């Protein structure tokens, strides 16, 4: 199977309790679209505070919770370059991963608005 035959076929977004979210992209060969098994999975973690805030507002709207829509639009207007940059970084990481793959799989990206502190209990 050639590398460029692998194509994304399903994207999922799952929010956590803290409004961080898991972005999952499942990919398979364009030659075998009926393949539903996703044997391999790769997880990465990215710090994207603007994207996390924007997606948090999307979640609140989906749940019919109040957000100040004009304020949301003003914030988005001021931060659109940062948001587009974060989206571009995430998609570049996905495409980089896809270039290295030879079989169907899944790429999972945990998107957080907070940086992760290294655990003192783990070595490395």
- Over residues 31-70, the pLDDT tens digits come to 765 655 555 566 789 999 999 988 988 888 888 888 887 8
Q: Residue 102, Cβ neighbours under 10 Å: how many?
A: 12
- CA distance linking residue 58 with residue 80, whole number of Å: 15
For the chain, the domains span: 3-112
pTM above 0.85, yes or no: no
Cite the beta strand spans of 5-104 per DSSP E: 6-15, 21-29, 40-47
Hey, which residues does 111 pair with through a beta bridge? 21, 46
- CA distance linking residue 22 with residue 16, whole number of Å: 8
Q: What is the mean pLDDT of residues 96-112?
A: 90
């Amino acid at each position: 199977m050639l590398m460029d035959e692998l194509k994304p076929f399903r994207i999922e977004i799952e929010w956590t309790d803290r409004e961080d979210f898991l972005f999952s992209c499942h990919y398979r060969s364009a030659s075998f679209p009926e393949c539903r098994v996703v044997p391999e999975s790769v997880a990465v973690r990215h710090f994207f505070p603007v994207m996390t805030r924007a997606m948090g507002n999307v979640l609140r709207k989906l749940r019919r919770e109040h957000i100040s829509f004009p304020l949301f639009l003003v914030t988005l207007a001021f931060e659109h370059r940062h948001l587009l940059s974060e989206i571009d970084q995430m998609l570049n990481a996905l495409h980089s991963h896809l270039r290295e793959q030879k079989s169907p799989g899944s790429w999972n990206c945990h998107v957080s608005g907070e940086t992760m502190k290294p655990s003192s209990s783990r070595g490395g």
